[in-house]
Structure 1
């Protein structure tokens, strides 16, 4: 089972990353820091005569990581009641990736991926973060990607996620499910 975490925080070691780390504790995985990738914003050319064009940036690294994964974890802080801009830019470019002739099997592969979303915020995130979870749910539904689970953590300052026993308990439960192969079984 190949697990990849996409960290959408603007700083390494943030609370959303730490919570995702608990989900994959003692499980082999890869981590990709979106902030370290140069990803240009999407230019919507779906209806243009020649459609989307190849862009010279690092987005292919994300697509290739998706293509090699069985389980993906999107970890992002809650910024202004949504995902980080870094993560949103990554998600927006999927419109282009699913039409890219260089990845003819991507749409089919996305249907097999198991997806976990890990978000952390400080302003009543278990209520105010729900629209963000729905945003992921609708996006993944559009892409026919299975939305396996999510965790909403509470934290303001660096390291505060370690005080959120509920989020840590959910992370431990997901960790056991991943170790048991639950998320890679056919449904």
Structure 2
């Protein structure tokens, strides 16, 4: 069974994206799943000097090394991810530069990348989807699936789509 890391961020901690994430998470083996609410963790912004205090990023980095599947879960905000999700993705760059943890960055190659998102738009924002395509390409992560749920009026979770997405993580 594959190990799955879920990285979640949302301004609404019990909102639509959270509900979608939990629907997927409930179908996974908890012994093979790790979940990080990025909004509850403290990590510094990326800097060119790679000078950081010991923060929560290194726990996330360890989880990235552990995972076979990496799920990014964020609502679409202004064609993009949440600010904390963007900060984390920027910081992941440290994994390509810092000699002490560079092995984790190299280890991202050929992992499977997934995206969970919700928005008021019927279709996925191409800028949002393109952002993840570029991030996954940069780290040589295989773009495996993106599940977008339209929820302008009310969130309705499509059971078959959620189950199909979760099945790819097993």
Place the TM-score, normalised by the shorter chain, in its bin: 0.7 to 0.9
Question: What value does the CA root-mean-square deviation take over the aligned residues?
Answer: 1.9
- TM-score, reference length from structure 1: 0.80
Q: Which runs of 4+ in 1 moved over 4 A?
A: none
Q: Distance in 1 between matches of 2:143 and 2:81?
A: 16
Q: Distance in 2 between matches of 1:81 and 1:125?
A: 13
Partner of 2:75: 77
2:19 is aligned with 1:18: yes
Q: Would you say the 8 A contact 2:17–2:75 is kept in 1?
A: yes
Q: Distance in 2 between matches of 1:86 and 1:125?
A: 25
Specify every segment of 5 or more residues in structure 1 that has no aligned partner in the other structure, as ranges. Answer: 46-50, 180-187
Greater mean deviation of Cα atoms: 87-96 or 105-114 = 105-114
Q: Distance in 1 between matches of 2:42 and 2:105?
A: 23
Partner of 1:9: 10
- TM-score, reference length from structure 2: 0.87
2:127 is aligned with 1:131: yes
Specify every segment of 5 or more residues in structure 2 that has no aligned partner in the other structure, as ranges. Answer: none
User: Given the superposition, is the C-alpha separation of residues 132 and 58 from structure 1 closer, same or farther in structure 2, using an over 3 Å criterion?
Assistant: same
Q: Distance in 2 between matches of 1:155 and 1:102?
A: 43
Partner of 1:93: 91
Q: Would you say the 8 A contact 1:73–1:117 is kept in 2?
A: yes
